[in-house]
Amino acid sequence: MEEAGERAGETISLWERTATKFRSAPLSENLTADVCVVGAGIAGVTTAYLLTREDRHVILVDDGPVGGGMTGRTTAHLVSALDDRYYEIEKILGEEGARLCAYSHTAAIDCIEAIVTEEKIECDFERLAGYLFLPSGGSVTELRRELDAAVRAGLGVERVDRVPIGKFDTKGVLRFPRQAQFHPLKYLNALSGAIIESGGHIFTGTRVVKIKDGNRTSIETSDGHTITARAAVVATNCPINDLLAIHSKQAPYVTYVIGLRVTCELEHALFWDTAQTAENEKQVLGPVPYHYVRFARVNCGRGRSQKRSGGRFRATFLKIGALGAPALSDAGRDYRSLVRTGDGAG
């Protein structure tokens, strides 16, 4: 029987099939700490780890196991190429804001790489290039705008003739160097052990129901226990300390992921199209559906992102399979099975 919070969806992701999630006993008494981190996904665990390295006494809590939410279901692209596009970010935040976005994402990848190296974590971390390409008949103008904006943001992006796999009919491709991928649960498991070795505490199966700010922050759990800390970090997928300001601006999105098994060697890279079709690119209202691909040593995943509208999961999985199989087949690579590996965020 699965514990509460075991996973954020019905299907089992590739990461969940190939790693055991870290668990500990739930909080059973009142405690004090320098910092309490709420949420044991990649943001919360990394924050807790970095704080322990600064000799802070840290308590990390989650209502499920470590990595039981979106982190355990992501397709684990570590990228400075952003879905919102740098030319759109420039419109809203200006060139300096776009540069900060590029810098922060680049720094995050560098940070993960440094931690993996220092802690000798075996989590399949790999540096590789990422390719942003158009759907058939897509707008080259939009791609040029993104190239110019990404370069202004300080990224070493370049335009190339084609992606290094398959026979995609594209008029242009942007190559983002020094992106990365990894196994998120293996990474979090190692960091969890490092946190405990450094004197931190992790309590899974512990649901936080209230956070009170003040000179000392009070974090209350559903079992009636309290953590008192100098500061709290809320690193949940949706914030639990403010039920209006952020929630009212959010919409539920879903990524559908399948796995395709390939039978020969290929270049590892990350791939993203700008939209599902050229017509989708012209869409003004609502999110534009798009696809992305990454490879792993035991599997290959293809994903599709769209706004959640409910009830059409099976049909969407079948559509992705129909799109993914020919692409790999055109590249001379056979696939053997389609595996439903996730319905969480990608």
Percent pLDDT > 70 in the chain is: 77
Residue 242 tokens read as: 């403010």
Q: How confident is the model at residue 333 (pLDDT cuts 50, 70, 90)?
A: very low
Task: Evaluate if residue 3 carries a pLDDT over 50.
Answer: yes
pLDDT of residue 149: 97
pLDDT of residue 175: 96
User: Which pairs with CB-CB distance under 8 Å and at least 24 residues apart come from 312-317?
Assistant: 313/256, 313/343, 316/256, 317/256, 317/258
For residues 237 and 253, is the Cβ–Cβ distance under 8 A?
Answer: no
- The whole-chain average pLDDT of the chain stands at 82
**Rg of the Cα atoms in the chain:** 21
Task: Evaluate if residue 330 carries a pLDDT over 50.
Answer: no
pLDDT of residue 279: 63
In the block, tokens 């319905």 appear at 343
Residue 290 forms beta bridges with which residues?
305
Tens-place pLDDT, residues 55-73? 999 999 999 999 998 888 8
Q: How confident is the model at residue 335 (pLDDT cuts 50, 70, 90)?
A: very low
The helix or strand, by DSSP H or E, that contains position 221, with its residue range, turns out to be: strand 217-221
pLDDT-wise least confident of 146-160, 171-185, 325-339: 325-339
- As a whole number of angstroms, the distance between CA 210 and CA 99 comes to 36
Q: 286 or 65: which carries more pLDDT confidence?
A: 65
Domains belonging to the chain, first-starting first, are 14-74+185-234 (3.50.50.60), 77-182+251-342 (3.30.9)
**Average pLDDT in the 186-203 region?**
97
Label residues 99-126 b or e (16+ Cβ within 10 Å = b): bebbeebbebbeebbebbeeeebebbbb
Tens-place pLDDT, residues 224-272? 999 999 999 999 988 888 777 787 777 777 777 777 777 767 778 998 8
pLDDT of residue 297: 73
